């Protein structure tokens, strides 16, 4: 609980014939972090015995199948998307995750099942999917054509006469209004006078241009029109006027939409039948890929395979027993003390019950190193105390407690992150209720001064709005205690590492504190007795930076004044909201409603603001001031080779 789990180096040598069985069992046990054996092959004791294991041939196969399954699921998501839960529903009232029951198959059996499923789904959706793609292309083309015809819909131009014929070519286009005299001259010169030009305004800023020329001059005329920014309209296969063509296009689009709906219905039907089986297959293929890819981290001889990794010491015996049983005796297992530098050893935290959820706060900073104290048990009481002290309102604490309970009864039942958040909020709310009642906060002064619940005053130990100086001294005292705990833990850590000079570098702080207490009690001689060794130890520890050592301690201590500051802000804001509600209460007819809205909205806003502030500043005091006295962090999480089944369960 105070230190990470003790690790052991574990090595397996198994016969090639039972390699897959051994890997499958290790994957299911989820208790060994497999490391890359190839890093050891350069050492003398290994390079003559072992060679690197090649990548498994199954990796390419399983990757191809995963791509095929993902493509089909993407089609289902595009055509028949699943309804997703919103954030608040997931947080407070999620639907229970539905597990997909699958067969316990692997290797060739899994590959065959995946191939059969993919082939069957493709058979059902290939034709409607191709039709959907064709329809989208046709609708796009028709849309462009309709947009072009809509610009000249007011004109009665026979579309079938536009384009190139045997002798002449008729071109029509849209251009911004301008003087076309130079254009006509250029066309006449190019077409040798055999050209007809007409223009018709179709909007305030646009003009429709019609040009008729000999067929052999059509390309040259078209190039001139492009140079003059005339947007040519291609009539395509349409006939009649532009207005009638638009009607034809609308009819074609309607028919395409009907055909599109039929295709979507076919794919939606296939999605209803195959979405869950494909998701189950995808998760099984991912598991199979992990087992195949791990082979590249192994070593081998002609007939055996070597596996190396890390295991938690207390679980090693069970792992050995399981591997020997599954391999029918064709396995040798060695367990030894760690043979790597401590900074490279994986870290598994060992905190029971509620403490497990406070590991989240530690990992927000960094996991501890292997030989370092786990601060989870230390952060548990102090974070809750700081959280409650900075909110200082029992009713806000009740709201926080209820919020945590609702999360636990909602998303907390299925999601570990929400479960941890619910527990943190529930315990923080309970702490706030206790400390809020001791500071007289019940929606500020609403309960005691406005609702007449004066008996609550009997619970008050300190009123932050009246005893401001005492509240500040209390916050500073709590901060000093917190820092002293951190210093003591740091001394213990350094002594365990045999770093005695480092262990003594902060002892001067204890002598200084005793000297200040003696000075406060007017015991000047005793104060000098403790102050002198404090100064000498400070100079020894900090040398030329002694002054910064003193200012650093002063800054760390005064930083805890935020406990008082946020407590005052919380109480003061609540009092201001109550006063504002009182001011509007007397307004005729609507005053009571306005007051209730101000109370509800104001206190909700104040609760959210103080909740975020208490969390952020509570974490800050631990990460900067407290951890700075003893904690380094930077460890690597223990990540065992483990089957991750989020969607599936075995029959």
For 42-93, write each residue's pLDDT tens digit.
777 777 788 888 888 889 999 999 999 999 999 999 999 988 888 888 989 9
User: Residue 217 above 80 pLDDT?
Assistant: yes
CATH of 7-53+298-347, one of 3.40.50.720, 3.30.43.10, 1.10.3720.10, 3.30.70.120: 3.30.70.120
Which of 85-94, 202-211, 439-448, 518-527 shows the lowest per-residue confidence on average (mean pLDDT)? Answer: 518-527
Name the pLDDT band for 211 (thresholds 50, 70, 90). very high
Residue 275: pLDDT band (50, 70, 90) is very high
pLDDT bucket at 423, cuts 50 / 70 / 90: very high
Going by C-alpha positions, the residue among 237, 234, 227, 246 that lies closest to residue 175 is 227
Rounded mean pLDDT of 359-363?
Answer: 92
Contact 625, 482 (CB under 8 A): yes
What pLDDT sits at residue 546?
Answer: 73
- Virtual CA dihedral for 538, 540, 543, 547, nearest 10 degrees? 10
Sort strands 636-637 and 346-347 into parallel, antiparallel or unpaired.
parallel
CA trace torsion 246, 252, 254, 258 (10° rounding): -170
Across the range 418-427, mean pLDDT stands at 95
Could you state, in order of their start, the residue ranges of all structural domains in the chain?
7-53+298-347, 148-243, 353-632
Estimate to the nearest angstrom the gap between the alpha carbon of 367 and the chain centroid. Answer: 19
> Do 7-53+298-347 and 148-243 fold alike per CATH?
yes
pLDDT of residue 58: 87
- Segment 527-537 mean pLDDT: 81
Residue 393 in this model has a pLDDT that exceeds 80: yes
| Residue 519, pLDDT score | 81
Q: Is the per-residue pLDDT at 591 higher than 90?
A: no
User: Residue for token digits 């059969």?
Assistant: 116
Least confident of 73-77, 203-207, 267-271, 531-535: 531-535
Specify the 3-state DSSP secondary structure of 214: strand
pLDDT of residue 344: 87
Of the chain, the percentage scoring pLDDT greater than 90 comes to: 59
Which of 17-26, 284-293, 512-521 has the lowest average pLDDT?
A: 512-521
- Segment 296-306 shows an average pLDDT of 90
State residue 577's pLDDT score. 95
Identify the weakest region by mean pLDDT among 155-159, 264-268, 358-362, 539-543: 539-543
Question: Cα–Cα distance between 327 and 386 in angstroms, integer?
Answer: 54
What secondary structure does DSSP assign to 35-75, as a single string?
--GGGGTTSHHHHTT-EEPPPPTHHHHHHHHHHHHHHHHHH
Average pLDDT over residues 288-296: 92
Q: Residue 521 has what pLDDT?
A: 84
pLDDT of res. 503: 79
pLDDT band at 267 (very low <50, low <70, confident <90, very high): very high
pLDDT at 599 over 90: yes
Domain 148-243: state its class.
Answer: alpha beta
N- to C-terminal Cα separation, the chain:
37
What b-and-e string marks burial along 495-515, b requiring 16 or more CB atoms within 10 Å of the CB?
Answer: eeeeeeeebebbbbbbbbbbb
Residue 207 has pLDDT above 80, yes or no: yes
Q: What is the mean pLDDT of residues 391-416?
A: 94
């Amino acid at each position: 609980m105070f230190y990470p789990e003790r690790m052991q180096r574990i090595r397996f040598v198994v016969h090639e014939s039972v390699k897959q069985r051994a890997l499958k069992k290790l994957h299911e046990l989820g208790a060994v972090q497999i490391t890359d054996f190839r890093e050891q092959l350069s050492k003398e004791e290994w390079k003559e015995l072992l060679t690197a294991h090649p990548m498994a041939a199954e990796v390419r196969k399983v990757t191809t199948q995963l791509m095929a399954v993902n493509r089909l699921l993407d089609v289902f998501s595009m055509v028949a998307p699943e309804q997703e839960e919103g954030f608040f529903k997931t947080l407070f009232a999620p639907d229970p995750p539905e597990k997909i029951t699958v067969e316990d198959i692997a290797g060739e059996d899994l590959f065959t099942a995946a191939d059969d499923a993919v082939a069957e789904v493709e058979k059902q959706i290939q034709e409607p999917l191709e039709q959907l793609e064709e329809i989208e292309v046709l609708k796009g083309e028709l849309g462009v054509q309709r947009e072009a015809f809509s610009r000249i819909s007011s004109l009665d131009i026979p579309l079938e006469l536009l384009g190139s014929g045997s002798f002449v070519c008729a071109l029509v286009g849209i251009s911004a209004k301008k003087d076309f005299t130079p254009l006509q001259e250029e066309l006449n010169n190019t077409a040798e006078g055999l050209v007809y030009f007409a223009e018709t305004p179709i909007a305030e800023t646009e003009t429709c241009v019609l040009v008729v020329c000999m067929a052999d001059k059509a390309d040259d005329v078209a190039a001139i029109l492009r140079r003059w920014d005339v947007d040519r309209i291609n009539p395509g296969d349409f006939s009649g006027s532009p207005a009638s063509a638009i009607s034809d296009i609308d009819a074609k689009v309607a028919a395409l939409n009907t055909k599109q709906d039929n295709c979507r219905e076919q794919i939606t039907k296939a999605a209803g039948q195959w979405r869950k089986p494909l998701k189950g297959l995808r998760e099984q293929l991912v598991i199979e890929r992990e087992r195949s890819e791990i082979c590249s981290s192994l070593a081998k001889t002609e007939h055996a395979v070597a596996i190396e990794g890390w295991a938690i010491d207390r679980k090693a015996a069970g792992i050995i027993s399981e591997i020997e049983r599954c391999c029918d005796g064709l396995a040798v297992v060695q367990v030894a003390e760690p043979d790597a530098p401590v900074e490279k050893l994986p870290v598994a935290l060992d905190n029971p019950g509620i403490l497990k959820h406070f590991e989240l706060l530690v990992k927000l900073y960094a996991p501890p190193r292997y030989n370092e104290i786990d601060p989870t048990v230390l952060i548990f009481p102090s974070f809750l105390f700081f959280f409650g002290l900075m909110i200082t309102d029992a009713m806000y604490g009740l709201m926080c407690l209820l919020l945590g309970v609702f999360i636990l009864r909602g998303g907390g039942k299925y999601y570990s992150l929400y479960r941890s958040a619910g527990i943190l909020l529930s315990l923080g709310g309970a702490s706030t209720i206790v400390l809020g009642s001791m500071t007289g906060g019940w929606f500020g002064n609403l309960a005691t001064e406005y609702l007449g619940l004066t008996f609550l005053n009997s619970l008050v130990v300190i009123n932050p709005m009246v005893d401001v100086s005492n509240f500040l001294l209390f916050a500073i005292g709590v901060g000093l205690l917190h820092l002293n705990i951190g210093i003591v833990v740091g001394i213990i850590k350094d002594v365990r590492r045999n770093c005695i000079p480092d262990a003594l570098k902060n002892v001067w702080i204890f002598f200084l504190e005793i000297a200040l207490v003696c000075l406060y009690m007017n015991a000047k001689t005793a104060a000098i007795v403790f102050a002198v060794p404090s100064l000498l130890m400070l100079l020894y520890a900090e040398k030329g930076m002694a002054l910064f050592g003193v200012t650093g301690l002063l800054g760390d201590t005064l930083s805890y004044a935020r406990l008082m500051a946020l407590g005052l802000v919380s109480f003061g804001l609540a009092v201001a909201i109550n006063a504002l509600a009182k001011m509007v209460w007397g307004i005729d007819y609507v005053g009571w409603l306005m007051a209730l809205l101000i109370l509800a909205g104001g206190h909700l806003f104040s609760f959210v603001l103080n909740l975020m502030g208490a969390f952020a500043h509570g974490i800050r005091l631990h990460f900067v001031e407290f951890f700075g006295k003893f904690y380094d962090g930077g460890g690597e999480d223990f990540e065992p080779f483990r089957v991750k089944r989020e969607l599936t369960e075995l029959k």
